[in-house]
Structure 1
Amino acid sequence: MLDDTLKTQLQTYLGMLRQPIRLIASLDDSDTGSEMRQLLETIVSLSDKVSLDTTGNDRRKPSFVIARENETTGVRFAGLPLGHEFTSLVLALLWTGGHPPKVEQDVLDAIKALDGDFDFEVYMSLTCHNCPDVVQALSLMAIFNPKIKTVVIEGGAFQKEVTDREIMAVPMVFLNGNVFGSGRMSVEEIVAKLDTKSAERDAAKLNAKDPFDVLIVGGGPAGAAAAVYAARKGIRVGVAAERFGGQVNDTMAIENYISVLETDGPKFAAALEAQVRHYGVDIMNLQRAAKIIPAPASGGLAQVQMENGGTLSAKTVILSTGARWRNVNVPGEQEYKNKGVAYCPHCDGPLFKGKRTAVIGGGNSGIEAAIDLAGIVEHVTVIEFAEQLKADAVLVDKLRSLPNVTVHTNAQTTEITGDGSVVNGISYKDRATGAQHHIELEGVFVQIGLVPNTEFLKGTVDLTKFGEIVVDAKGHTNVPGVFAAGDCTTVPYKQIVIAAGEGAKAALSAFDHLIRTT
């Protein structure tokens, strides 16, 4: 089950256990049950601080609980936590065994202070790169607060549950039997959702902060690069971000960032944050900007108001709010979101195994999605508005070599249909003839580009009709002391490497502004 390299790594990690732990297994005679027994026996063989009890009788079989010695409750894994979730398993073992987690103390304090009965169930797939963050967050919460229970369920092993609960996107989280949320969530986001007074406390903390020399709004590659370049000038720098890493967190494979042969989005985002923290930058996560008030012409500070009511002040501001997936905006899209309408083929593709799906969009993202899905689903239909596919030739050639893919170009999606609960088809119009067509299917993946996150800036800085911030060659906006970088701007080619370069440029421009005006 685990190769020698993984066993060696796992043994090293288990050497960090500070107290004994128990693995309490509820097994069955299935292949997954046999594999689970083998996995658990391997773990036990690698540490004298881990014991195995196979007398468990949980309703979900096969599953196991990681518990402290003399206890019977803890994080439960139903199905095998391998693939992307192997790290989640290792962390749950370490945290239960007393190894301290790498989270801020105030986050741990907030977890411990939660009062109530919280019974979480999180459904994940082993190929989902968004799932580990949610799994690890809920595992941490269960380990540090006895009132919180967490069950991590691998959808492939419990397909009847997935079907009965109409789960068509992961991660999907239930709290006390009701849908709590879907998609990527950090532990801070989950705690904030449970703690109704957290926004008020966060606002007070923001209001109490001293002014920054450079305040960066947005924590993607552009914001991170700006923070590093600004901090290296020895000035006071802050980053207010809705989620550090931005859209990079939703990117599976990164193979074109110079000097990094291959990585994935979550790893890249974590590396960005680690480097920014290395320079002592004040990172304020889970902060969405609501309004920017530029500094008066006579001099003074700019202010950035946050949605939680807090306000930050700064001598200069760099806007790097990035972009988000564009919606197709047809009837049925919102109604069936996470009920057959999805945006991440890596995360949700396995849930459509053997089913019929469509991909809306013929650019690189859409064709890559179709190629990935073709290896999992029964059939993929690609619907592209333009007269020809816009993806790179190598991707188009690969797509056309696949036997279970159909491509419709010059086609306008008009509706995503459903039965009231889940998607059952897609309608499109042939733009050449006007003929209407309908395809019966179970899943639709939307891959049609990006929308800049700039709505809050209307009336403050110049925006294009597409919502992009107008910048010059040095990252200046039309407002003195306000700069912008990355996917939210008019700079062409929305790529990570370009965003990082533009962020560095904006930071240097902001510093030049400071030395000339203060």
Structure 2
Amino acid sequence: MLDANMKTQLKAYLEKVSRPFELVASLDDGAKSQELRSLLQDIAALSDKITVREDGQDDRRPSFELVRPDAEMHLRFAGIPMGHEFTSLILALLQTGGHPPKLSEETIAQIKAIEGEFHFETYFSLSCQNCPDVVQALNVMAVLNPNIRHVAIDGALFQNEVETRQIMSVPSVYLNGEPFAQGRMSVDEILAKIDTGAEEREAARLNDKEAFDVLMIGGGPAGAAAAIYAARKGIRTGVAAERFGGQVLDTMAIENFISVKETEGPQLARQLEEHVRQYDVDIMNMQRASALIPAVEPGGLHEVQFASGASLKARTVIISTGARWRELNVPGENTYRNKGVAYCPHCDGPLFKGKRVAVVGGGNSGVEAAIDLAGLVAHVTVLEFADTLKADEVLQRKLRSLPNVDVICSAQTTEVLGDGQKVNGLQYKDRRTDEMHTVELEGVFVQIGLLPNSEWVKGTVKTTQFGEIEIDNKGQTNIPGVFAAGDVTNIPYKQIVIAMGEGSRSALSAFDYLIRQ
């Protein structure tokens, strides 16, 4: 199952295992069970502390449970955790084998203290870059607390469950048999939902913090770069982010980040956070900014308020809250979100295997999505509002070569249709004739660009008609001591490398502002 190179790498990891444990498999006579048997045998052959049993009694087959004789824990994989989930498997092996997780002592203590019964089920796809974060978060919680059970389920392999539960977006998490969450989640986010009072405790902790010299609001590429440049100046630096990594976490292949031939968004986000943590930077995650109260006079303290009830003060503020996917804003979109309406073709594409889908948007992201989906689904319809596609010509040529793709230009999407449970069609208007048309399908992937996350400062900081924060050539906004950087600003070309440069510039400008006060 594993090639020689993967075995060599895995063997090196498994040397960190200090406690013996078993992999208890539930198998049948199918080909996938044979694949899982081979994988588990390969793993056991690489460590004298890991053994395999095949007497598991779980109804999901193939599946396997990680069992440690000296501790009660409930952790299972239903399916074969390869692809993006291979890292989840490695971490589960290490943590079950006694290797400490990369969590703060405070978070570990919080997990261990949770009381009650929590049976989590996570449906993932092997091509989903968002799924490992959720799987790994719940896995480590199951390792640390016997009250928490977790089963990670390959939705493509257990299609009957996906159909029964009408799961059309991954990751999808169930708690005690009921829907719990969809989309990427961290340990902190899960804890905030199940540990009552956690948000209030964190808000109180933040309220007690001293004022920062520079405070980044947003932890994407711009915020991370700004934090590093500020911290290297020796000034008190903080980053408050709704989720560190920002939109990069939702990006799949990155092939234009200079000096790195190819990487993926979640990997880059982890590297950004690791780099920032090398410096004396106070990272405050899961904090969504709600208001900015500027200093009364230049050189005074600005205040940033958060939805959690927390409040932070700083001599300078750098707004780097990025952007989010633009929505269609048509009837049916919100009704059928995650029930056929999706925004990540890499994550949710496998759930639509053999079905008909539409991609709304003819730019690079839309055409790339259509090309990817064409290899999975029965048929793709690309709908573009303009008279022609806007994607690069090389992508358009590839798109035209695919036999199961139709392209409709001058198409204004007017409604997402459904049967009350899931999507079954899409309605659009031909902008040239005003005729209405309906396309029968099972999925709609929205790829129509970005919206800046600037609502919380509108009316305080000057923005363009598109909601982008206006900045000068130093990253300064119209408010002295308040800077902005990255996709939330009116700088053209929303690219990772540009956001990093803008973040660095804003930090240098903030430092220059401070020393002149």
Q: What is the RMSD computed on CA atoms of the aligned residues?
A: 0.9
Contact 1:123 1:170 survives alignment (8 Å): yes
Q: Is the 8 A contact 2:342 2:444 kept in 1?
A: yes
* Counterpart for residue 305 of structure 2: 305
TM-superposed deviation, 1:300: 2.0
Per-residue CA deviation, residues 62-105 of structure 1 (Å, 9 max, x unaligned), is 11101112567521000101111011011001101100011111
1:326 aligns with 2:304: no
Q: What's the counterpart of residue 236 of structure 2?
A: 236
CA contact (8 A) 2:73 2:142 kept: no
Task: Please state whether the residue corresponding to 1:487 is helix, strand or coil.
Answer: helix
CA distance in 1, matches of 2:112, 2:429: 55
Q: Give, as a single letter, the amino acid of the residue that structure 1 aligns with 2:356.
A: R
Using the alignment, how far apart are the partners of 2:255 and 2:245 within structure 1?
Answer: 17
Match of 2:461 in 1: 461
Residue pair 1:65, 1:73 contacting (<8 A) in 2 also? no
Describe the SS at the equivalent of 1:249.
helix
Is 2:275 the partner of 1:275? yes
| 8 Å contact kept, 2:65–2:74 | yes
Match of 2:108 in 1: 108
> CA offset at residue 17 of structure 1?
0.6
Q: Quick one: percent identity of the two aligned structures?
A: 65
Q: Does the aligned pair in 1 maintain the 2:23–2:40 contact within 8 Å? A: yes
On the 8 A contact 1:25/1:56 being kept in 2, the answer is yes
* 1:98 and 2:86 are equivalent in the alignment: no
Match of 1:28 in 2: 28
**5+ residue gaps in structure 2?**
none
Range that drifts further, 304-313 or 67-76: 67-76
Q: How does 1:209-358 map to 2 (within 5 A)?
A: 209-297=209-297, 299-358=299-358
SS of the aligned residue for 1:156 comes to coil
Q: Is 1:507 paired with 2:473?
A: no
Specify the alignment match of 2:474 in structure 1: 474
- Tell me the distance in 2 between the aligned counterparts of 1:422 and 1:310: 38
Contact 1:24 1:72 (8 Å CA) reproduced: no
TM-score (norm 2): 0.99
User: Partners of 2:91 and 2:2 in 1: how far apart?
Assistant: 17
478-487 vs 305-314, greater mean Cα deviation: 305-314
TM-score for the superposition, normalised by structure 1 = 0.99
> What one-letter code is carried by the residue in structure 1 that aligns with 2:416?
I
- Aligned mates of 1:432, 1:367 — CA distance in 2: 22
Quick one: which amino acid aligns to residue 153 of structure 2?
A: I
Paired amino acid for 2:499: A
Shift in Å, 1:298: 5.8
Which whole-Å CA distance do the structure 1 matches of 2:260 and 2:432 have between them? 44
The question of whether the paired residues in 2 share the 8 Å contact of 1:192 and 1:199 is answered with yes
Alpha-carbon distance between aligned partners in 1 of 2:77 and 2:257, rounded to the nearest angstrom: 35
Deviations 1:463-503 (A, max 9, x none): 11211101111101000000000000000111111111110
**8 A Cα contact 1:324 1:452, kept in partner:** yes
Hey, what does 2:431 align to over in structure 1?
Answer: 431
Query: CA separation of 1:112/1:71 partners in 2, compared to 1, >3 Å: closer, same or farther?
Result: closer
Could you list the runs of 4 or more consecutive aligned residues of structure 1 that deviate by over 4 angstroms after TM superposition?
70-73
**Residues 367-395 of structure 1: per-residue CA shift (max 9 Å, x gap):** 00000000110100000001111111111
Counting matched residue pairs gives 517
Alignment correspondent of 1:385: 385
Secondary structure in 1 matching 2:276: helix
CA contact (8 A) 2:73 2:143 kept: no
Q: 1:462: how far off?
A: 0.4
Question: How far, CA to CA, are the matches of 2:298 and 2:85 in structure 1?
Answer: 55
Asked whether the 8 Å contact 1:428–1:438 carries over to 2, the reply is: yes
**1:102-158 deviations in Å (ceiling 9; x for gaps):** 111111111111111100000001000100000000000111000000000001210
List gaps (5 residues or longer) in structure 1: none
Shift of 1:347: 0.4
After superposition, where does 1:193-212 map in structure 2 within 5 Å? 193-212=193-212
Partner of 1:125: 125
Contact 1:241 1:285 in 2 (8 A): yes
SS in 2 for 1:269: helix
Whether the 8 Å CA contact 2:298–2:480 is kept in 1: the answer is no
AA partner of residue 380 (structure 1): V
Q: How far, CA to CA, are the matches of 1:502 and 1:44 in structure 2?
A: 49
Note the 1:411-422 alignment, pairs <5 A. Answer: 411-422=411-422
Deviations 1:287-341 (A, max 9, x none): 1111111111164211111111111111100000000001101111000011000
